[in-house]
Chain A
């Protein structure tokens, strides 16, 4: 694959995204330690991060580290709106945008020099535009490869801009800690550290075979390539995340099968609506369950064709739930999640027969329209009336 000789790839990553949105919307939170999420920490402002608080940490531990931190409930619809606005800035910057998640993306600005200036100038303008138009700080790393651009933004955070010139790549990379390498988590870092390897430069000096014997074939090769700054992947327009999902915690009291089904219906409604809004269809329906004893189960089924049709996804999810019912009865369910994976764009899409008049794609489209205009709760199913839909959140990785 062609890798440009020039640093034209931008990795743009919103800083402490959820927490920054909260600080943007409530002036009293600015400059203070903010934790989003009362249970598990979903996001922490940089002021809170200074106390060692990080996302996915338990709420109790976080409050112990910083008793004065302000805890706020997450507002996902606001974050989704902010994310959309930021993506509009991305799209105005270059046609080559590869979204990675709600708060980060790769942008390739190759060929825009005469129109828009150097990559560094474009990156600076991007930061300015995101701040002016959405009111959020964003960090941008600029480099010749995606990997280096991502490393650069990681180093430059928060609210930073770092350009890695092509002739300074190894000089930039090698002094960094191994944790900066993409794919190195705590476990791999520990394996390397136990052998006295702490910097990328040290990894680069090892033979690929040695790394493979330490970390396994895939990880070993991956790290060897990254440490030598080999990353030929181009920016893929529109290749977004691999799944769209939603989950809901149910509390520990016993629930009837109907109540669990109602939760499932609500989740499927929400997930398929988001898929349609994003112009995505998917083939694999995934049901995630967590039980009273904190054990988890994941069931999935792959359909012959991708779909974002509510009734089709619901029928499949119900099938998965039925198979899991004995386990639910035995162990008690505390969380239900639905995701649709194996995503692709919704054209071309095999259409589905409208089995009953009230379930066709036309109905999905009409409901989407009402919800887009009057809000997600403007219209609901009878089965969900009077049921607290509670806090549903975008599915987080396990």
Chain B
């Protein structure tokens, strides 16, 4: 098999699939990228067994074949090649590919394409289309509440539910919860799946253009196609927490605060604290005071006017969680809803389609 391809096309498409190249060294072949001839296209594929990415590059190809080439190495060198045209020649009998471009030539050892994991068949999956921006926005609003702690796999996923006219996504790491509802045009089937947050975040990076994303669920796989790229990801088994019963029905206090101003106060205070020490919010008549105090570092204190009435309320929050919440709501005002120092608080923006629920930190005293 001998492939001739434009360098810039190759570099651009390799950058996409290389995001699925495994960084763990345990299974060597997963560190490779599969190159396969398909008529006038060169197919590229990579997988780390959780996520797979496939795309094509227009190419002139002599002969058929498939080979797995070390991924990182190929990506690095493709970027640096001197000529606009690249020739890749696979010599199966030597288990190598020759890469030539202008004056530069490389010989790379390869893996056997038959050892590459079989990726889910895309043709077998029934898909439907979703507005790309709506999908990505929904992911972006909830993704940071997903857990990175692998000990509870369900929480590393985002619950995605398609229902009549809308998409609902929810994510929680058991300390906070984000829920976003997004209106969808067009017909979508009713569908619910827990999708790894990591995969959806990759999707937001990859799906840079195109109006729509094709989406389908097949057995334990979820398939996305956008902009000539196909991504598959494993579906997470298990029961997602029933988040609706976590959302309090009523609150003691509900106050509108200037979002950017509060965000700045929180960011400034956060400089003074360690990872797990609390930010103290003291609500009193007409005023909110944010204090950060760390034994080893020091202390910060800042007040801003707040439409608060009643007995003062003091509540602690993890600074990162509070900042994430303030960043994920939209609009000039944030609606801060509180019950008591040990009950969850809710942040909402200009509309009710997004909810950020966060558990406080129990404070001494």
Contact = CB atoms under 8 A, between A and B. Distances in A.
B360 A354 contact: no
Q: Which of A301, A303, A354 has most chain B Cβ within 10 Å? A: A354
B344 to A, nearest CB: 7
Nearest to B241: A355
Nearest to A305: B276
B152 A319 contact: yes
A195 interface: no
Contacts of A28: none
Give the size category of B's interface with A. Answer: 20 to 34
B197 interface: no
Contacts of B149: 303-304
Leading 6 A-B pairs by shortest Cβ distance: A347-B364, A355-B241, A319-B151, A351-B359, A349-B362, A348-B278
Interface in B317-365: 318, 342, 344, 357, 359-365
Nearest to B317: A350
Contact of B361 (A304, A316, A349): A349
Contact of A352 (B242, B357, B359): B359
B152 A315 contact: yes
Interface of A: 301, 303-306, 312, 315-316, 319-320, 346-357
Nearest to B147: A304
Contacts of B360: 351
A354 B246 contact: yes
Nearest to B176: A353
A349 B173 CA distance: 16
Q: Classify the secondary structure of A's interface with B.
A: mixed
A320 B151 CA distance: 8
Given A304-B149, A356-B242, A348 B363 contact: yes
Interface string B242-255: 10011000000000
Contacts of A306: 276
B361 to A, nearest CB: 5
B363 A357 contact: no
Nearest to A317: B151
B177 interface: yes
Contacts of A350: 175, 276, 318, 359, 361
A207 B16 CA distance: 62
A351 B152 contact: no
Contacts of A316: 151-152
A49 B149 CA distance: 49
Contacts of B18: none
B242 A355 contact: yes
28 contacts: A303-B149, A304-B173, A319-B151, A320-B151, A346-B362, A347-B364, A347-B365, A348-B276, A348-B278, A348-B316, A348-B362, A348-B363, A349-B361, A349-B362, A350-B276, A351-B175, A351-B342, A351-B359, A351-B361, A352-B175, A352-B359, A353-B174, A353-B176, A353-B177, A353-B344, A355-B174, A355-B242, A356-B245
Contact of B357 (A304, A312, A353): A353
Contacts of B241: 353, 355-356
B60 interface: no
A347 B363 contact: yes
Contacts of B316: 348
Contacts of A301: 151
Contacts of B233: none
A80 B14 CA distance: 64
A351 B151 contact: no
Contact of A353 (B151, B246, B278): B246
B191 to A, nearest CB: 23
A355 B173 CA distance: 11
A352 B365 CA distance: 19
A305 B245 contact: no
Interface string B173-197: 1111100000000000000000000
Contacts of A346: 362
Contacts of A354: 246
Given A304-B149, A353-B359, 7 more contacts: A304-B175, A305-B175, A351-B342, A352-B359, A353-B172, A353-B175, A354-B246
